[in-house]
Amino acid sequence: MVFACLVSGATVVRLAAAITLAWTHSVQKSVWQEDWRATPAGLELTEVRVEGSGAGMEPPEGAVLKGRFYVAHPVLAPQRGVILRRSGATADWQVCIAGTCRPMAEFVPPEADPVTLTTCE
């Protein structure tokens, strides 16, 4: 089975086959969420949800407002990896598995930067 994993240096943390990455924009304070699924071809982005717009947080093309989020299903080729940067100036990434969200610092050291989301077995 293929899983999504966080990798930073020698640290590799296996998460689940499907995860959500979430973060809050440092200026706009709007939430951005992405659903990723690990497949043999790579990571597939299945859905994006953006709370509001502005300050570089524009909803993706084709997004539809559902409740407080613009929801989109982008067409993107499977990714080998997604690089996650941590500036320290904002709250940490949230990693959500089966509806439970935890800061990325619970998976990899808080000072780890960059961290790569990739697939693993």
pLDDT of residue 54: 66
Whether 52 has a pLDDT exceeding 90, the answer reads: no
pTM reported for the whole predicted model: 0.92
pLDDT greater at residue 82 or residue 88? 82
Mean pLDDT of the chain: 92
Whether the pLDDT of residue 40 is over 80: the answer is: yes
Give the list of residues 6+ apart from residue 46 with CB closer than 8 angstroms, or none. Answer: 18, 35, 36, 37, 73
Helix (H, G, I), strand (E, B) or coil at 105: helix
Confidence of residue 56 (pLDDT cuts 50, 70, 90): low
